Amino acid sequence: MAAFRTAAAVVDALPEGELDRRIRTRTLTDLRGIGPKTGAAIVQAHAGEVPEYLARLEEAYSELVPLADDVAEFRSALRGDLHTHSDWSDGGSPIREMAEAAIALGHEYMALTDHSPRLTVANGLTAERLERQLDVVAELNEELSPFRILTGIECDIHLDGSLDQTDELLGRLDVVVASVHSDLRAESAAMTARMLAAVANPHTDVLGHCTGRLLIPREQREGRRQRPRPESAFDAEAVFSACVEHGTAVEINSRPERLDPPLRLLSLAVELGCSFSIDTDAHAPGQLDWQDNGCERAVETGVDVDRVVNTWTADELLDWTAG
């Protein structure tokens, strides 16, 4: 991109008529700062065409290009966020700060979904720590009312499809997001069976970042760096159909490095009749406004706003998760 900015600056400095002359005499690349690739793009743009190089970039990275149409209206319908983390697991901020940031954004509620114990790299919560967190959340809810912190967990899905917490504790939580975090390169049949079992679990409310992909590198705790990661292989039609059958919402994960599900799978989930939860997976207060990313993708794929569970009031949402 630096080369294109340099070339644009060279063209801007040319006297009137010089660009036309250079294009006509094919001497554009004689100018310092303009090479064959940037020169070709300039010629095509000057002729009113979309430069081939730009078109290829847009095709390759279209999922990262933000949309504008109707996104603000869709975003305004969201009442909360059902996937957030605090410094109790791998987030960087206390629960109160996350809640206050959500209030500042106009949210009515926020589900606190710190990691479950198996994910030790993310400082997952043991049953004892989760019970202590429930007490802390209860106290904060008294102070922050009418805003509500919904109790929750991002629960790791074991290889056999079971959830990484006791049934008793899962039954006490408002929201359970179930996600795969390990053995992401498993064969499709094994991954499909694993996800189907988790989706059918009566405690599961939301299927989190279903493909597990990472589009760009990301920094983790203690300086760890995760490389980009391809999608997990699974039978998406079977999994999304099970989500419809069991009343489990498919998460539209809004993290820039995830944007999960990919658009083709999100379109399939829409076609099959899934419900959705547009979440940030925020690990810091400033990440709570990433919901715009998910709304862009929802608008692009034709998600009906009424099928997004976090457009509902807290009472409506809790009636749904209890059911």
pLDDT-wise least confident of 142-156, 208-222, 239-253:
208-222
Please report the pLDDT score of residue 219 as a whole number: 67
Distance (Å) of CA 188 to CA 177, 184, 248, 321: 22, 10, 21, 29
Q: What contacts 152, CB < 8 A, 6 or more positions away? A: 82, 111, 112, 113, 173, 174, 175, 176, 177
- Quick one: tokens of 70? 């109707």
* More confident: 273 or 10: 273
- Amino acid at position 71, single letter: V
Residues of the chain with CATH 3.20.20.140: 69-322
Please report the pLDDT score of residue 62 as a whole number: 59
pLDDT digit string (tens) for 8-25? 777 777 888 889 899 999
Q: What is the mean pLDDT of residues 247-266?
A: 97
Task: Return the CATH superfamily for domain 69-322.
Answer: Metal-dependent hydrolases (3.20.20.140)
Q: What is the mean pLDDT of residues 149-163?
A: 97
Please report the pLDDT score of residue 240 as a whole number: 98
Total residues belonging to the chain: 323
pTM: predicted TM-score of the whole model, two decimal places: 0.78
CA distance 52 to 287: 35
Please report the pLDDT score of residue 259 as a whole number: 96
Q: Comparing C-alpha atoms, which of 194, 135, 136, 143 is closest to residue 164?
A: 194
pLDDT digit string (tens) for 180-213? 999 999 999 999 999 999 999 999 999 999 999 9
> How confident is residue 2, by pLDDT bands cut at 50, 70 and 90?
low
Share of the chain above pLDDT 70, in %: 91
> How confident is residue 69, by pLDDT bands cut at 50, 70 and 90?
low
pLDDT-wise least confident of 12-26, 144-158, 235-249:
12-26
What mean pLDDT value characterizes the chain?
91
pLDDT digit string (tens) for 162-181? 999 999 999 999 999 999 99
> How confident is residue 150, by pLDDT bands cut at 50, 70 and 90?
very high
Please report the pLDDT score of residue 220 as a whole number: 62
